[in-house]
Structure 1
Amino acid sequence: MDTLKKDEDSEVVEIDLGDSSDPEESEDGEEPQTLWRAQPSLDEEENIHTSTLVEISDTKPLITSRDARGINDCLKVGFEDVIAEPPSVRSGDRVWIWSNALFEVSRVWIYRIVTALLALPMSAISGLLFGLLSCFHVWMVRPCIRCVLIGNRWIQSFWDVMLHIVVVPFLTSAGKCCGGLGIHLAKE
């Protein structure tokens, strides 16, 4: 067994480099587990957002929650969400495992390559667009709306008076006149 140690605070990872047909067992008396079959611990399960077959990036994330508001929940897609075999039709286990691994690796790396090419230009364009729209709204739209509201204050007051003097009494009297009417339907 070879032992690899990354940092002082990280755990020791054992990798079995021996032949799987060796009759030898490990020092514990247990059969050694291969790395691709190892189940992640509970702490690791909470932090892993992709399949365990995909190696997580070696860089530590700068932002722990990149989608805190759940804007892109529709993009949480796994291999089983895209490709599923019914019980009546099944491929070999190795084909399924390698297809799963190829799907996850290609999905992750294509995303990384495309974001490496487009993320910075799109961020700059989006920042420029939202900056221009914010500036336009703060310095042009909102002051114009306030000027119109201030300049038309007398129209609002006049309209309010007209409603209370003419329209409200007319509709109130019409409602009282029609309120006393009754309709009786009879068959002949």
Structure 2
Amino acid sequence: MDSVDLVNRDPNNLNDHIKVQFEDVLAEPEGARSIDCVWKLSYTCFNLWLGICYKLMTLCYGICIAAEWGCEFAAIAFYHIWYITPVLRVCEINCAVFTKITKTCLSCCIEPCCEACGAIFIHFKK
């Protein structure tokens, strides 16, 4: 079993689109500024409640949700390994035979007609 990287928890950058830092959510432009102590306390409250709520939700639901997703991806892997891939292989095998039959029929029936038409029109010149 692989060990869990506790430092870089999104090594494939799956959640780059989620911006939850204070600076990504709240910003005051020039000309619309709150008092410095309000801005500092807002920063502290935001980060405190973000951390508390996120940790509580992951504590209460994270393990169950991870278990459900594990089951979901196990089912997907199972279906692909034991059903979808073999069905696709059967289709490939059957299509190869159909392709061979079609090519043979075309070369027997259509190709002579095309060659005859080509022989007629080859003599026309500008």
TM score, norm. by length of structure 1: 0.52
Q: 2:76 aligns with which of 124, 133, 145?
A: 133
- Cα displacement (A) at 1:74: 1.2
TM score, norm. by length of structure 2: 0.74
1:69 aligns with 2:12: yes
| Cα distance in 2 for residues equivalent to 1:75 and 1:93 | 27
Structure with larger RCO (C-alpha < 8 A, sep 6+): 2
Q: State, as a whole percentage, how many aligned pairs show the same letter.
A: 27
Task: Report which of the two has the higher share of helix.
Answer: 2
User: Partner amino acid for 1:161?
Assistant: T
| Cα distance in 2 for residues equivalent to 1:87 and 1:149 | 65
Unaligned 5+ segments in structure 2 are none
The aligned counterpart of 1:35 is none
- Cα displacement (A) at 1:83: 1.6
CA offsets 1:13-54 (integer angstroms, 9 cap, x no match): xxxxxxxxxxxxxxxxxxxxxxxxxxxxxxxxxxxxxxxxxx
Is the CA contact (8 Å cut-off) linking 2:22 and 2:43 kept in structure 1? yes
- Cα displacement (A) at 1:75: 1.5
Give the CA RMSD over aligned residues. 2.8
| Cα distance in 1 for residues equivalent to 2:95 and 2:31 | 74
| Cα distance in 1 for residues equivalent to 2:14 and 2:41 | 31
| Cα distance in 2 for residues equivalent to 1:136 and 1:69 | 25
3-state SS in 2 of match to 1:76: coil
* Count, aligned residues: 114
Is the CA contact (8 Å cut-off) linking 2:19 and 2:25 kept in structure 1? no
Larger-Rg structure: 1
